[in-house]
Amino acid sequence: MTVSRAINRPELVTKDTLEHVREVIARSGYVPNLLAGGLASKRSRLVAAIVPTIGNSIFAEAVECLTDRLGEAGYKVLLGLSGYPASREDELLATVLSRRPDAVFLTGITHSPESRQRLLAAKIPVVETWDLTPTPIDMLVGFSHEKVGRAVANYLIDKGYRHLGLVWASDERAAIRRRGFEDAAAERGVTDIKVAILPAPGNLKLGREGLAKLLDEAGDLDAVFCSSDALAQGVLTEAQARGLAVPGDLAIMGFGDLEFAPYTYPSLSTVRIDRRAIGLLSAEAMLARFGDRPFEKIVDIGFEIVERAST
């Protein structure tokens, strides 16, 4: 019984006992039949996570924290990549739900009616992330993209920038940030905002192309907000290649606060999202539901504008 408990409910045994059981299993080459155990307990010990990409650390870090916390409780994470736009989400959800996961982690709040119905019918914990809505499928850990856009517009205008441009990836959450930015700017009397729309996800090459397009077509810009730090890095590179002083001639703002942002030259102003908190709080929400413990239905983790040298 102790071995079974250590495999299926590791949180119920002591750390020493768990380590001993794992050592014995490793020496013997034993592979537990989780399917059989799942049939008996009605638990698969499997959680499905669907994200657009892991090529961007903004999602990878959230998944890493989710995986680590669930792993401590004896759960494994099955990862699916939906791409941009989330064209593969329906197919992925149909596949993973057929494996009877104990919970699902989703990126975003926009899903097809078919996927939404499948998730509701599964009657398992579902955590939507990276966005905010008063009507989640089940639980939600995220932040308001509209508020991010509004906050950045006000930040740049407060610093005296009036000729604004956007270098922007074509994904739905970025589109919400853009609307917030444009609405807040219009309220401050800034309406002629130049926009370069690029395929998602953004990268350094596309960032360079985006700024080149804006400067060649619009010319008169004093600040550019980018939908990701990756695009902002490209914008910074293109500005320097054209001999523009940053921020003297052109201020540059990113989104995400990726690892390289403090180390570009000049260092990149950006918007910090606590992506590790998204993964950890999502795991805690699932574990609370597994244990019939209360957990907030909607958790708004907020965001932080990080001012560095580029603005």
The pLDDT, as a whole number, for residue 31 is 47
Q: Is the model's pLDDT at 33 over the cut of 90?
A: no
Tell me the percentage of the chain whose pLDDT exceeds 90.
Answer: 78
Q: Is the model's pLDDT at 12 over the cut of 90?
A: no
What residue has token string 């407060």? 158
43-143+275-302 under CATH 3.40.50.2300, yes or no: yes
Under the banding of pLDDT at 50, 70 and 90, the label for residue 84 is confident
Q: Is the model's pLDDT at 95 over the cut of 50?
A: yes
Q: Is the model's pLDDT at 59 over the cut of 70?
A: yes
Distance of CA 99 to the CA centre of its chain: 24
What residue has token string 């509004």? 150
CA–CA gap between residue 51 and residue 277 (Å, rounded): 16
Among candidate residues 50, 35, 67, 44, the one with its CA nearest the CA of residue 118: 50
CA–CA gap between residue 309 and residue 28 (Å, rounded): 57
- One fold for 43-143+275-302 and 145-272: yes
pTM of the predicted model as reported, rounded to 2 decimal places: 0.85
Under the banding of pLDDT at 50, 70 and 90, the label for residue 255 is very high
Give yes or no for a contact between 56 and 68, defined as CB atoms under 8 angstroms apart: no
Q: Is the model's pLDDT at 113 over the cut of 70?
A: yes
Phi-psi region of 106 (alpha: psi -120 to 50; beta: other; left: phi over 0): beta
**Mean pLDDT, all residues of the chain:** 91
218 compared with 208, residue with greater pLDDT: 208
Q: Is the model's pLDDT at 18 over the cut of 80?
A: no
Q: Are strands 103-107 and 126-129 parallel, antiparallel or unpaired?
A: parallel
Mean pLDDT for the stretch of residues 185-192: 97
pLDDT in tens, 275-301: 999 999 999 999 999 999 999 999 999
In the CATH hierarchy, which fold is given to the domain comprising 145-272? Rossmann fold (3.40.50)
Under the banding of pLDDT at 50, 70 and 90, the label for residue 4 is low
Give yes or no for a contact between 234 and 207, defined as CB atoms under 8 angstroms apart: yes
Mean pLDDT for the stretch of residues 83-87: 73
Give yes or no for a contact between 169 and 142, defined as CB atoms under 8 angstroms apart: no
The pLDDT, as a whole number, for residue 1 is 52
Among 32-46, 191-205, 253-267, name the one with the lowest average pLDDT: 32-46
Domain ranges of the chain: 1-32, 43-143+275-302, 145-272
